[in-house]
Structure 1
Amino acid sequence: MNTIRLILLLVSTLSFSCQKQSYLFTSFREPATDGLHLAYSHDGYHWTDLGGGYLQPEVGGKLIRDPSIARGKDGTFHLVWTTNWKGDKGFGYASSKDMMHWSEQRFLPVMEHEPDVVNVWAPELFYDDENDRFVIIWASTIPFKFPKGEEDERNNHRMYYVTTRDFQTFSKAALFLDPGFSVIDCVIAKRKKDDYVLVLKDNTRPQRNIKVAFADNVLGPYQQVSEPFTGFLTEGPTVIKVKNDWLIYFDQYRDKTYGAVKTSDFKTFTNISGEVGVPKDHKHGTIIPIDAKTLKALKSKTAL
């Protein structure tokens, strides 16, 4: 009987450990000169600060803003980030096996072929498992290239992209999204095969809020742009799936707080800002699942 009970206990423990999921949230702190910051959560709602200084900015304008992370099938973490407000024609890149020891930083000049480009903002990584490649999207302004509303010509953004399998060879930068208005801060979510959602910021003066659009291909075209589901002056969304719900976090930059909504269908959104806890001064990053070994090492480093 004792043997049976022990087996049942081991099975129960293993089942619980398999169900338990932890998450890692990248971020930065203004003025974005002190490098990569991290936070973790076991439930996707409550976040614990792991501190900063995991990667110091060394390329481009020597800022780390909007750090976006994705993990390849070999377990390597890949990170891209905004290096400057204006002037840089690319973004920063580094990789790591453990989130603590990083490769040499590189500047990826993805818009060097555009002599008039104003900026390269908020590169976002997405691992396209169906094609075993990474898709990187970002916002740039090329004055007088697109119709505009109230925006200045140097603030009329559209989304661009490249793809890569090895972060050595890249496709030529191409237009990713022109929804007919200035758009920034996009992030891709895959619901299932041939079913993608793009969470985006409408950056036009009357809006400056967050919406979604839909496509049956990771590269679009993304259509059926929704009505906003966040308030005025919100940006920097990131998306994770927790059980049956998708959680969308976003920066409420007027109030200097973080907000969140949850949805099961990307049509109806419930505000859960009062149910989440994000570290003070946390800014625009992305969330990925994290394995127990890597998280334990990160927590140990923080405790030193």
Structure 2
Amino acid sequence: MSPFLARLAAIWIAACLLFTGQALTAPQRADAADPGYLMTHFVGEGETGQQLYFSHSTDGLRWKDLNGGGMTLRSTVGTRGVRDPALVRSPGGDKYWIIATDLCIGCGQSWDDAINRGSRNLVVWESTDLVNWSAPRLLNVAGAIPDGRNAWAPEAIWNPATNDYVLYWATNVPLDGKTKHRIYYARTSDFRSITTPQIYIDRPGTQELIDTQIVEMPAGVGSHRYVRASGDGQITLEGSNSILGTWTRLGDLSGIGLTGSQVEGPMWMKFRDRNEWALYLDQYASGRGYMPVTTTNPSASGTYRLPASGGYDMGGNKKRHGSILTLTAAEESRVLARWADTPAKRLQSFNFQDRYVRHANLDVRIDQNITGPDAQFRPRPGLAGSGTVSFESVNFPGYFLRHSNYDFQLVRNDGTAQFAADATFRQVAGLADATWSSFQSYNHPDRYIRHYAYQLRLDPITTATARGDATFRATN
């Protein structure tokens, strides 16, 4: 071959190799633009910390608080607090549930109460789209367990062998001379009724077990179809080929310096673009919330690695025991739109400028010098029409200012067209001062939001006094 042809052949081969390399790496670059992940969790103690919060990540390691860092769902049943939420998607992707511990420490309930005289219920929400959720309801799971004293840290996984969900949780119960938390399970198809609870995991002696979560493995990875991580003095790893079958101990995370005395609340997440998993662990002993350890084979305890410095970012809120859902593009679009970072505002009265709109026992009025969450609302795009506004409560998410019989209350959105119309307003120039605002009813355009005897009403505005009553300013 002549030197020219040899050089030409070399250039052609190099170009082919370059093209091949680009073809091999292109799917990874495309995956980077794929939808991300949704985490549901709680953030701490007290009646606001023990509620539901959502966070989003594009890469599974760097998280952004949704809804401006505010709660996304609030329990109004049972103890009126929730911890340890699990987010469950149906196999068809057409239904979702959140199940959580009915527990509110410091809200009139102590740890001793919760351990020995706690709620036997779980709190359940349902949705068909991840953004419109039912009112919370209670599901009694431990009432059928003789002397069952609580129900904590629920999880659920679809079981193809039985065509329903295995729902599992921890209950403190005296049995065989030992009073401790064991993991129980029941089967359910709808999270409304369950089979008789059975013991699922019971460690020897007095060893308690509260937190456990199962992840399903893809074919060809590891030694088992399912792997579970449990907090039982260690973070113990077990494997099985059947959710309700025999489980084999695979090891623990003591080799990387993590035990159950330091971390709890194991939470699995598979990276969508590669065979790698994060096992998030709640650093409860140091009060620092979640951190990820990663592995390419959850079945092999020696493959787990601590995160590199700066390798993850949990966002502004502390994130505690929850679960992660890998989103589809449609799910992500809906979630990010619904819980956009809309700043909270107060509505200040024009003619009583030391007073602000607030709710009290779900009634709505103007009160003096109110700065707390009862007087904070997120102005959302109007529920009934474009170019309008609806006002969602900060501390009762999903509840909006709504008129009924021309009186105002804070009411949970029931998804009906009537609710949307009653909770929607047009923001116009202030009737008493054009630099302020007035809010015209969407479905009664001859009426405006106004206060009368400090109560919020929907009235026709015909006098100078009424114009002042119907004028407000959105302020921080």
TM-score normalised to structure 2 length: 0.55
Runs of 4+ displaced beyond 3 Å = 129-132
The structure 2 residue matched to 1:270, chosen from 279, 294, 305, is 305
**Do 1:33 and 1:63's aligned partners in 2 also have CA atoms closer than 8 Å?**
yes
User: Aligned AA for 2:53?
Assistant: H
CA contact (8 A) 2:186 2:194 kept: yes
More divergent stretch after superposition (164-173 vs 75-84): 164-173
Match of 1:40 in 2: 56
Comparing 109-118 with 246-255, greater Cα deviation is found at 109-118
Counterpart of 2:251 (choices 221, 226, 234) is 226
Q: Tell me, what secondary structure is at the counterpart of 2:54?
A: strand
Cα deviation code 1:189-234 (max 9, x no counterpart) = 11147621111001xxxx3x41211112112332225233424321
Q: Unpaired runs of 5+ in structure 1?
A: 1-11
- Would the aligned equivalents of 2:266 and 2:281 in 1 still touch at CA under 8 Å? yes
State which structure, 1 or 2, has the greater radius of gyration over its C-alpha atoms: 2
Mapping of residues 103-252 of structure 1, within 5 Å: 103-129=134-160, 131-143=162-174, 145-146=175-176, 153=179, 156-180=180-204, 181-192=207-218, 195-202=225-232, 207=233, 209-224=234-249, 226-229=251-254, 230-231=258-259, 232-242=261-271, 243-252=274-283
Following the alignment from structure 2 to structure 1, what is the Cα–Cα distance between the partners of residues 279 and 333? 26
Alignment gaps of 5+ in structure 2: 1-25, 104-113, 343-476
1:297 deviates by 3.1
Kindly indicate whether residue 90 of structure 2 is the aligned counterpart of residue 54 of structure 1: no
Aligned length: 281
Q: Which has the higher contact order (CA 8 A, sep 6+)?
A: 1
Deviation at 1:19, TM superposition (A): 6.7
Residue type of the alignment partner of 1:212 = L
Report SS of the residue matched to 1:265. coil
* TM-score relative to the length of structure 1: 0.84
Contact preservation (8 Å) 1:177, 1:222: no
Alignment partner of 1:226: what SS?
strand
Match of 2:322, SS? Answer: coil
Select 2:124's aligned residue among 52, 69, 93: 93
Query: CA 1:237–1:303 in 2, change beyond 3 Å: closer, same or farther?
Result: same
- Counterpart AA for 2:262: L
CA contact (8 A) 1:177 1:221 kept: no
Percentage identity across paired residues of the two chains = 27
Give the direction of change, closer, same or farther, for the CA distance of 1:55–1:283 in structure 2 (3 Å limit): same
Cα distance in 2 for residues equivalent to 1:17 and 1:245: 14
Q: Distance in 2 between matches of 1:250 and 1:278?
A: 12
Amino acid paired to 1:239:
W
How far residue 115 of structure 1 moved from its aligned partner, in angstroms, is: 4.3
1:293 aligned to which of 318, 323, 330: 330
| Equivalent residue number for residue 293 of structure 2 | 261
